[in-house]
Amino acid sequence: MTDLAITLTETGSKGRYVTQPEPDGPEAELTFSRASANLIIIDHTGVPDAYRGQKVGVALVTRAVEDARTGGYKILPLCPFAAALFRRNPDWSDVLNG
């Protein structure tokens, strides 16, 4: 799965990255909380079974990492999926909180 259209919405201290790989298909999402101007906490990554194995979750976390680099903030990945990706991608350590 490449070139997914991923949108970001933030309301107050809550945020959500969303993609819908197939027209009229279910949405995949990554949710986070903004703990401060310098830190977001990824708390959930949800990918419907229809997209399993297509790296949709990877694309969502990668977008969060790219935005953290651009925005100059850190990420605390409490979501087990996001935490596993951070362990497998040591090049993301520049945005990892801790």
- Residue 1: pLDDT band with limits 50, 70, 90: very low
CA angle 75, 76, 77 (to 5 degrees): 105
Share of the chain above pLDDT 90, in %: 95
- Segment 69-95 shows an average pLDDT of 98
Q: Is residue 45 part of a domain?
A: yes
Torsion over CA: 94, 39, 79, 54 (sign): negative
The reply to whether 41 falls in a domain is: yes
The pLDDT of residue 98 is: 74
Find out whether 57 and 31 touch, Cβ atoms under 8 Å: no
Residue range of the domain that includes 79: 6-92
**Domain containing residue 53: CATH number:** 3.40.630.30
Q: How many structural domains compose the chain?
A: 1
What are the residue ranges of helices labelled H in the chain? 56-71, 80-88
Residue 96: pLDDT over 70: yes
CB atoms within 10 A of CB 72: 9
Lowest mean pLDDT among 1-5, 25-29, 76-80: 1-5
